[in-house]
Amino acid sequence: MATDFGIDLGTQRTVIYSGKSIVLDELTAVSYETRTGELIAAGDDAYNMLGRTPASVTAVCPIKNGVIAEYDVAESMLSAFLNQVANNKMFKARVMVAVPSSITEMQKRSIYNACSSSGARDVCLIEGPVAAAIGIGLDFTTPKGSIIVDVGAGTTDIATLSMGGLVKYQSTNVAGSSFNNAIAKYIKREHSVIIGPHTAEQIKRQIGCVTQRPLELTITAKGQHQFTGMPQTFEINTNEMITALYDTAVSICKSVQSVIEKTPPEMTGDIYSDGITLIGGGSILYGFPEFLANYIGVKVTTVDNPKTCVAKGTAMALKNFDLLKNGDYRFKSLDELSMA
């Protein structure tokens, strides 16, 4: 059993790679007994309990905007995940965890602590865009500029890279969940119906788009009438999606533009010729790659594994630590972390 694990602890999904394979891909959620704090479930099972628990059970998503928001529960979720994949051999495990590029020292510390409390022997953090570059096989070790845009659920992480490291970067909270919020806001305004986050997510996946689809699609969804409080069915179509999602899409594009503007001019030239690499689950939103390409005026490339390439890159970095020689990366041991 391998004992090196590459982890992408995402706001919506946690993906763990070992060697060349995915060993865990679960929704980032945990449920526990409210009174005792005892773990009930971690991952998809806990996610299904969200918004449906009696008072005796609490179900939460412990990662918000790419960082730990509820430490104790995040730690017990991570322990459960790692025990599941490490087969009680955590004391031998080295883990590499991807984090947003603009993470604070405090936020880094809580991830180190959660990993070491889960029993990992050595822990190293890596910025998500660097891991992604490795995971998709982008050669970022030469003095040639490239840019990665990761539209996740809670964070959009944008970074320009060259010579094995980050040059300019920015993480913003406008990401996949913001599209859901925009859908809910639009439906309340235009249809007087209140919908929950799950319904918004389903509508986005079924008919969400930011450019015209070849065929207009209409679906029926359910919510609660804003004024009567009664269950209400309504129809919504793809043209309405374009209106609902426009501002959020523009906001992400503006952040990308601002990172490009801050990047040194020699590198900007490389970016204009090679284009933007777009990853993360948000890149699957219909029309978003074209929308971004039109807004910035450069080519946008998507990848086959947008939701798992960061975790894949962390596992590859563990195997080829040399790839990170130009950055300030090092493993911290359990002893070192417990002394700090």
Ligand X SMILES: Nc1ncnc2c1ncn2[C@@H]1O[C@H](COP(=O)(O)OP(=O)(O)OP(=O)(O)O)[C@@H](O)[C@H]1O
Q: Which residues bind Mg ion (CB under 5 A)?
A: 10, 152
The phi, psi pair for 189, rounded to 5°, reads: -70, -45
Tell me the CA end-to-end span of the chain in Å, nearest whole number.
31
- Closest approach of ligand X to the CB of residue 203, in Å: 10
Chosen from ligand X, Mg ion, none, partner binding at 285 (C-beta under 5 to 8 Å by type): ligand X
> What is the Cα–Cα distance from 156 to 176, expressed in whole angstroms?
8
- Decide if residue 281 touches ligand X (CB under 6 A): yes
Compute CA distances 233 → 8, 167, 261, 267, whole Å.
38, 49, 46, 51
Q: Does 175 bind ligand X (CB under 6 A)?
A: yes
Instruction: Write the interaction track for ligand X spanning residues 108-147; mark x where CB under 6 A is met and - where it is not.
Output: ----------------------------------------
* Alpha-carbon span 270 to 161, nearest angstrom: 11
Binding segment for ligand X among 31-39, 171-179, 222-230, 269-277 (CB under 6 A)? 171-179
The span from the CA of 300 to the CA of 130, in Å, is 18
Residue among 280 and 313 whose Cβ is closer to ligand X: 280
Question: Which of Mg ion, ligand X, none sits in contact with 208, Cβ below 5 to 8 A by type?
Answer: ligand X
Number of residues that bind ligand X (CB under 6 A): 22
Lookup: tokens for 270: 């490389």
Judged by CB under 6 A, which of 204, 236, 249, 253 binds ligand X? 204
E runs forming strands in 29-145: 30-33, 39-42, 57-60, 63-64, 67-68, 94-99, 122-127
In the complex, the residues that contact ligand X under the rule CB under 6 A are 10-13, 66, 152-155, 175-177, 201, 204-205, 208, 280-282, 284-285, 307
